[in-house]
Amino acid sequence: MNHDGYDEFGPEKVLEVYNPKVGMRGFVVIDNTALGPGKGGIRMTPTVTPKEVYHLARAMTYKCALAGLPFGGAKAGIVADDRKISAKKKDQIIRSFGEAIQIVSPKYYVAAPDMNTAEHEMEIFSKAVGSPKACTGKPKKMGGLPHELGSTGFGVYHATVVALSLLKKNVKKVCFAIEGFGNVGFFATKFLSEAGGKIVAVSDSRGVIFNKNGLDFQRLADTKKKEGTVTAYTGGKVLPAEDILGVSCDVLITAAIPDLVKAGDVDKIKCKLNFFIKKVFLLFLTLLLTLEGLFLLMLNILARERGICSNLLKKK
């Protein structure tokens, strides 16, 4: 694995697994276990790399330490496009991955949902590993917290409100654009909308739905559930997914794709407050030095603390 990131903190273990019969290829990076087993989600995308997973694992090390939790940092990735495989095939891949990493889970690695994995996948994973302690984010029937609590998105919502208060802004007079409508973005949208915020744009892997007059959260949720994409929402303009960065808004929350914003994207961003929920490294400095005017940044580590704290309850 070439990520140029080995240091005194880790990573301690890097495990790559492959099952050609199933078509499963994945990896686990256990960054640091000084405080406990490494904690971090399993993401499934066609482009996930060991380098990406390493950076996310290091972020988990910092988050767990900052929150004072008995977890270290880790992360896992499975190379697959769940939009191009059947639900049965996806289950087979998750099961194969769980069986392959029994050597480290749950003793050194405790999994969780991430991009394109949720409660259902965690149930399959934990059963494949052979231990309910192998992951958090399990269904309620297995002792997991109800998904509708949306703890990570709830934390993002509160962090946003606090940041706005520092700017002396009322959430009811602010318009938001949210990249991603998954485990984080869905609930961030929900809670901000319930607080009176105007949601003008939301994106998923298929594009952006934009309406300067605001989008109705419940209709968005129903559309996503029924059609599989927010772009099927009626009453808005559909834009390419990457155009979420250039949407005119007060607050932009990037809640899905890691490393979404590149240095060359700076001039596209029109918001005044940006929450990089998926990025914690040096790009922040580039953006802060390049953007003109007021630009307040909330780091992943702080905004997502509620999610990692709820994981302690789920594990127990």
Report the CATH number at residue 130: 3.40.50.10860
- The CA distance from 75 to 135, in Å, is 12
Indicate whether 311 belongs to any domain. no
Establish if 234 belongs to a structural domain: yes
In a domain, 315, yes or no: no
Examine the residue annotation and report whether 75 is marked as an active-site residue of this protein: yes
The closest of 128, 29, 113, 116 to 310, measured between CA atoms, is 113
Q: State which of 90, 110, 144 marks the end of a domain.
A: 144
Where does 144-282 have alpha helices with state H? Answer: 151-166, 185-194, 217-227
Q: Does residue 5 belong to any structural domain of this protein?
A: no
Q: Are 256 and 128 part of one and the same domain? A: no
Residue 279 corresponds to which tokens in the numbers above?
Answer: 């990025």
Same domain flag for 219 and 121: no
Q: How many helices (H) and strands (E) does the chain have?
A: 9, 13
Q: What share of the chain is helix, strand, coil (3-state, %, to 5)?
A: 40, 20, 40
Do 36 and 61 reside in the same domain of the chain? yes
Partnered with residue 285 across adjacent β-strands are: none
Give the active site residue among 13, 21, 51, 75.
Answer: 75
Among the residues of the chain, which ranges form H helices?
50-67, 87-100, 119-129, 151-166, 185-194, 217-227, 283-290, 300-303, 305-315
How many Å apart are CA 210 and CA 193, to the nearest integer?
15
Domain annotation covers residue 3: no
Per-residue pLDDT of the chain (316 residues; tens, 9 = 90+): 445 668 899 999 999 999 999 999 999 999 999 999 999 999 999 999 999 999 999 989 988 888 888 999 999 999 999 989 999 999 999 999 999 999 999 999 999 988 889 899 999 999 999 999 999 989 888 887 765 567 788 888 888 888 788 778 899 999 999 999 988 899 999 999 999 999 999 999 899 999 999 999 999 999 999 999 999 999 999 999 999 999 999 888 888 876 677 777 777 887 766 655 444 433 443 344 333 333 444 444 444 444 454 455 445 4
Residue 20: the pLDDT is 97
CATH of the domain at 235: 3.40.50.720
Gap between the Cα atoms of 168 and 161, Å rounded? 10
Q: What is the pLDDT of residue 244?
A: 93
Q: Let me know whether 114 and 169 are in one domain.
A: no
Residues 295 and 166 in one domain: yes
Residue 240 is part of which domain span? 151-306
156 and 140, same structural domain?
A: no
Do 134 and 188 reside in the same domain of the chain? no
Q: Which one of 125, 144, 163 terminates a domain?
A: 144
Terminus-to-terminus CA distance in the chain, angstroms?
Answer: 33
Of the candidates 126, 144, 162, which is a domain's last residue?
A: 144
Q: What confidence score (pLDDT) does residue 16 get?
A: 97
Q: Are 264 and 283 spatial neighbours (Cβ–Cβ below 8 Å)?
A: no
313 in a domain, yes or no? no
Query: Taking the model in full, what pTM does it have?
Result: 0.74
Element at 198 (helix H, strand E):
strand 198-204
Q: Which two tokens stand for residue 311?
A: 């994981």
Given the DSSP bridges, would you call strands 198-204 and 175-179 parallel, antiparallel or unpaired? parallel
> 219-222 contacts: CB < 8 A, separation 24 or more?
220/181, 220/189, 221/186, 221/190
Res 274: pLDDT: 62
Residues 134 and 177 in one domain: no
Q: Is 79 helix (H, G, I), strand (E, B) or coil?
A: strand
Residue 177 lies in a domain: yes
Q: How many domains does the chain have?
A: 2
Q: Are residues 209 and 249 in the same domain?
A: yes
Output the six-digit token pair for 233.
Answer: 């929402």
Q: At what angle do helices 151-166 and 305-315 cross, to 10 degrees?
A: 150
Beta bridge partners of 38: 72, 109
Same domain, 157 and 302: yes
Same structural domain, 123 and 70: yes
Is 131 found in the same domain as 160? Answer: no
> Is 120 a domain residue?
yes
For CA atoms 103, 87, 56, 111, the dihedral sign is: negative
Question: What pLDDT is stored for residue 155 in this prediction?
Answer: 82
